[in-house]
Amino acid sequence: MSTITQHAPGTFCWPELMTLDQEGARKFYSALFGWDSSDSPLGEGETYTMFKLGGRDVAALYTMRKEQRDEGVPPNWQSYVSVENADEAAQKAASLGGTVLMAPFDVMEHGRMAVIRDPQGAVFCVWQAKKHAGVGVLNEPNALVWTELATTDTQAAAKFYSALFPWKAEPMQGPGEYTRFKRADGSGAGGVMPLAPGQNMPPYWLPYFNVTDCAATVEKGKSLGARVIMGPHTVPTVGTFAIFMDPQGAAFAVIQPATM
């Protein structure tokens, strides 16, 4: 069981949940994925919950701040992308038509980050690691395995992200429109697809967590109070996936990868 200590630029390196019920969310995800957790002080009366899988950092959560709730921001999973320089990434994103929602700032000694909204409206974060690289595990059962963008203009989004990160956009053959982002080494970085018709929501990035049995995870999620938005649905050569809304209202997905 290895631990990741460094993420190549352009890697989704940290899934972080903003929620309205920190303790409820902790119990839900701990029960669903078998994660352990620990808290660290975040501010006056606030804590940051770190989830661990086999002793390795796997995700985190915190309670949404009042100003976020007042703005109508729903509970959601934030997706962080590893970059060499957060300041340069934020500046480049702005030059490409993105909006820097939170200018680059230091997160103590752990790293430097910025919050960005792409031209279509999806929000993501960039992370310049210092003492904390991000997750210590990827692609294993109960860990982050994929991150996917649903957006109103897939071609514009592919152009934006391919210019911002060391990604190449590669349309995939299939019954529906889907583009896969690949890093320089050819490995998958993420995907982009059209926002489903009738979805009354802005574009968003969605994290997928690896599971060994999607159908069983769906039943377990429902028993814990989650709502199934889609699935289980099988895509040949890819796997079986399902999309949930957790009891606090944040969307996430699970996938049981296809066996080759």
Q: How far apart are CA 184 and CA 187, in angstroms?
A: 7
Architecture of domain 144-257 in CATH?
Roll (3.10)
Structure tokens at 100: 């820097």
Q: How far is CA 158 from the centre of its chain?
A: 17
* Cβ neighbours of residue 29 closer than 8 Å, sequence gap 6 or more: 17, 35, 51, 59, 61, 246
Mean pLDDT, residues 33-37 = 97
DSSP string, 205-222: EEEEEE-S-HHHHHHHHH
pLDDT at residue 72 is higher than 90? no
Average pLDDT, the chain: 93
Residue of higher predicted confidence among 199 and 26: 26
For the stretch 83-96, pLDDT in tens is 999 999 999 999 99
* Cβ neighbours of residue 147 closer than 8 Å, sequence gap 6 or more: 12, 15, 79, 190, 191, 205, 206, 207, 208
For the stretch 168-188, pLDDT in tens is 999 987 667 899 999 988 899
For the stretch 197-240, pLDDT in tens is 777 788 999 999 999 999 999 999 999 999 999 989 998 888 99
Domain boundaries of the chain, sorted by first residue: 12-129, 144-257
* Helical (H) or strand (E) element with 154: helix 154-164
Spatial CA neighbour of 99 closest among 122, 123, 116, 121: 116
**117 CB burial (10 A radius; 0-12, 13-18, 19+):** middle
Indicate the pLDDT class of residue 260, thresholds 50, 70 and 90: low
Q: With beta carbons less than 8 A apart as the criterion, state whether 203 and 153 touch.
A: no
What pLDDT score does 237 carry?
Answer: 83
Superfamily grouping for domain 12-129: 2,3-Dihydroxybiphenyl 1,2-Dioxygenase, domain 1 (3.10.180.10)
Q: Do domains 12-129 and 144-257 have the same CATH topology?
A: yes
Looking at the chain, the whole-number percentage of residues with pLDDT higher than 90 is: 80
Q: How far apart are CA 205 and CA 195, in angstroms?
A: 11
Q: With beta carbons less than 8 A apart as the criterion, state whether 19 and 250 touch.
A: yes
pLDDT at residue 150 is higher than 60? yes
